[in-house]
Structure 1
Amino acid sequence: MSEQNQLLSTRQAAILLGVSVRTIQLWVEQGLLSAWKTPGGHRRIVQESLLSLLHKRQKLQPLTYVLCVNLDADFFKLLQVLCQQWHFPVELQQARNAVDALLMMGEQKPELVLMTFEQQGIDMTLLQQELVQHQVKLALLSAEDPQPGLTMEMIWLRQPFEPLQFKTELQKLLFARLQQAG
């Protein structure tokens, strides 16, 4: 994500948080939001600080859910720790297999399904069609390059795992969700 995309105007931040521009300015002055001023005197709010403030204001209520399918328990714990460190309003849920994932999706629709590309017995084309129909994004962990036959816009996460890549993709997802809610 470019640095320009990581910044918001005070008006954009106000709209996303449902407050006035003056409130955003006061929060910047109080240090609740990280920002800097342009040469013209306009504030630019750092998206990550906005997500952190939103997380605190919602009293730890998640903005979005991520369903992790058949991931190693230690890797899942790492993802949880990273989301907590970043103060992202995200709840990670873990499914042991595809059947558990389907049952969990019936209870709570995730915004993102995260799984390894090398899943046995899963038709990726069919999975993509179903997820697109239900407006759920797919993130695949793989050491390989993205597969040309996969048509859906998906998130391709490199293995070995790069936390910064995951953080960037999660920020995009959170801001898309925040804009839908606003």
Structure 2
Amino acid sequence: MQSDKFPTERQAPDHYTTLEVAKILGMAVRSVQLMVDRNELEAWKTPGGHRRISRTSVERWASAHGLAGADSAPSSSAPPLAPATRPPVSRAPSATPASVRTPQILLIEDSVHFQNLVGLIVKQHFPEAALQVANDGITGLALYGQIQPEVLIVDILLPGIDGATLITTLRSHPQFARSYLIVVTSLDEAQREPYAFALQGVEVIHKPRLVAELPAVLAACLPTGPVTS
């Protein structure tokens, strides 16, 4: 369905600029540039040196990662696309369905073991929360823009884009301010030194202590009641 933000008579282009793709996918421009460098998106440069990205490759990437919004051409006067909507959440009769949503936790972690471990912790201690999982930083950036979670849990060592770069990128987004950041890592304090620039003021949990420490950290940052949208 054509978005109301764009004229229905306008024909969608066969290519986008880097900025347009960033708006469509809810990412930073630098993240889109990294995707092009890794050949995840098809692109070329104009004689003036401006990058153009194939519409087809953007739609293909968005479809493969379960994202919405790539089927509408961005307008230069339109704001960035809003996050994809989710089905309404069942609530008690006194709640207003249009004004509440399930607290969202986004985990960006490539280890299936720790994905499952965090999933068990959330299910056991915070059954009212919804956990979304991304296997790599690029997918995590896209999901972040889509769901705008209350809590973001990030591993430092990630494929494609490392966690420190991911954290720095997210901090350039205004909406990042609404998310509580937790970093999980197998690195000890000495090994984390190269990433100190990204970890200042951030809650860091050593993975061997995950089961013991994560529940209390989540309890301190998750909302105790319905989240207003």
Classify the TM-score, shorter chain: 0.5 to 0.7
- Contact kept, 8 Å, 1:115 with 1:141, in 2: the verdict is yes
1:160 aligns with 2:208: yes
**RMSD across aligned C-alpha pairs, in angstroms?**
3.3
- Alpha-carbon deviations, 1:120-141, whole Å to 9, x = none? 5442662352367522232211
- Alpha-carbon deviations, 1:8-29, whole Å to 9, x = none? xxxxxxxxxxxxxxxxxxxxxx
Give the TM-score taking structure 2 as reference length: 0.44
Which 5+ residue runs of structure 2 have no aligned equivalent? 1-90, 94-99
Q: 1:88 to 1:131 in 2, by over 3 A?
A: farther
Aligned to 2:169: 127
- 1:138 pairs with 178, 181, 197, which one? 181
SS of corresponding position for 1:139: strand
**Whole-Å Cα distance in 1 between the matches of residues 101 and 220 of structure 2?**
15
Aligned to 2:139: 100
Q: Identity of aligned pairs, percent? A: 13
**Whole-Å Cα distance in 2 between the matches of residues 93 and 174 of structure 1?**
15
Q: 1:179 to 1:155 in 2, by over 3 A?
A: farther
Query: 1:109-120, aligned counterparts within 5 Å?
Result: 109-119=148-158
1:75 aligns with 2:114: yes
- Contact kept, 8 Å, 2:137 with 2:166, in 1: the verdict is no
* Shift in Å, 1:171: 0.2
- Alpha-carbon deviations, 1:155-177, whole Å to 9, x = none? 201121431210011001114x6
**Whole-Å Cα distance in 1 between the matches of residues 122 and 149 of structure 2?**
16
SS of corresponding position for 2:205: strand
- Which 4+ runs in 1 deviate beyond 6 A? none
Q: 1:107 to 1:158 in 2, by over 3 A?
A: same
- Alpha-carbon deviations, 1:40-78, whole Å to 9, x = none? xxxxxxxxxxxxxxxx969xx964211111331232122
Q: 1:150 to 1:98 in 2, by over 3 A?
A: closer
**Whole-Å Cα distance in 2 between the matches of residues 131 and 137 of structure 1?**
14
- Contact kept, 8 Å, 2:122 with 2:129, in 1: the verdict is yes
- Contact kept, 8 Å, 1:68 with 1:92, in 2: the verdict is yes
Aligned to 1:35: none
- 2:198 pairs with 127, 145, 150, which one? 150
